[in-house]
Structure 1
Amino acid sequence: MTPTLRSWVQAIVLSLLATQYRKVEIVTSNSPAPAAPYSQAIQVGQTVYVTGTIGTSPSTGLMVPGGTVEQARRALMNSLAILQAAGMTFSDVFQKPYPARSSVEVSRIPYDARIMIEMIAVGNGRGISY
């Protein structure tokens, strides 16, 4: 392969990799806006990293009334809205092979929430295309 052809092939491969692994911010008004400077989710290829969501209402930004069960239900609905904005569903999170798990101990969750749920979803060729 000539040096010119090699350079051309390398440029194409690097361009394809950069496109495939580009970070895309996922934003939806169907889930509350973040309480700090972070994204609701980031998609890289067919993987979506959903930030920790809590039981706040998208329309009011306030914690839903009730206890842990109600907050967990709302947090899951918020997470689902983010996944759907990326063209994914819970099946992209909760089917085998299951994603890696993370667990963090904190002294306090924003808004004194009782629960925070984060997710990693891996799609099967659906979602945002580049």
Structure 2
Amino acid sequence: MTPTLRSWVQAIVLSLLATQYRKVEIVTSNSPAPAAPYSQAIQVGQTVYVTGTIGTSPSTGLMVPGGTVEQARRALMNSLAILQAAGMTFSDVTKVTIFITNLNDLPAVNNVYKTFFQKPYPARSSVEVSRIPYDARIMIEMIAVGNGRGISY
């Protein structure tokens, strides 16, 4: 390969890599809009990083009535809306982190969680925290890896 051709091929490869790995914001009106300087999700290549979602209604911006279980269900629905905006579903989720204000509520949350996910379940961490924004009882964040259905560049 001549030096000129090698430089040309390298430039194309670098351009393709830069395009594939650029950061793309995922936005949907089917999940509450961010209330601070963050994105609902960011996609890099086929990986989507979904922000921590809480149990607020997309239409009112208010916390859903009820307790941790109802908030968990709404947070998962909000996360699903974000995933769908990226062309993904819960079957694409590889990692979930649950922040919860009372770990004693986790068994009830697991019952809701199992209605959204199927085996093999994503890897997951659950952490008790002292406080979550808007005095939510639970916040759920996730990472999903698609199989080519997401954003095309």
TM-score of the superposed pair, with normalisation by structure 2: 0.77
| In 1, Cα distance between equivalents of 2:15 and 2:62 | 44
* Correspondence list, 1:1-130, <5 A: 1-91=1-91, 101-102=124-125, 106-130=129-153
Contact 1:26 1:41 (C-alpha < 8 Å) held by counterparts: yes
Deviations 1:69-98, CA, capped at 9 Å, x for gaps: 10000000000000000011111xx56776
Deviations 1:1-55, CA, capped at 9 Å, x for gaps: 2221111111000001011111110000100011210000001111110000000
Change in CA separation of 1:7 and 1:103 when aligned onto 2, cut-off 3 Å: farther
| In 1, Cα distance between equivalents of 2:120 and 2:25 | 25
CA RMSD of aligned residues (A): 1.8
For structure 1, list consecutive stretches of 5 or more residues without a partner in the other structure.
Answer: none
Contact 1:83 1:89 (C-alpha < 8 Å) held by counterparts: yes
Q: How many residues align?
A: 128
More strand by share: 2
Q: Percent identity?
A: 100
TM-score of the superposed pair, with normalisation by structure 1: 0.90
| In 2, Cα distance between equivalents of 1:12 and 1:99 | 36
| In 2, Cα distance between equivalents of 1:99 and 1:11 | 37
| In 2, Cα distance between equivalents of 1:55 and 1:29 | 15
For structure 2, list consecutive stretches of 5 or more residues without a partner in the other structure.
Answer: 92-116
Change in CA separation of 1:37 and 1:104 when aligned onto 2, cut-off 3 Å: farther
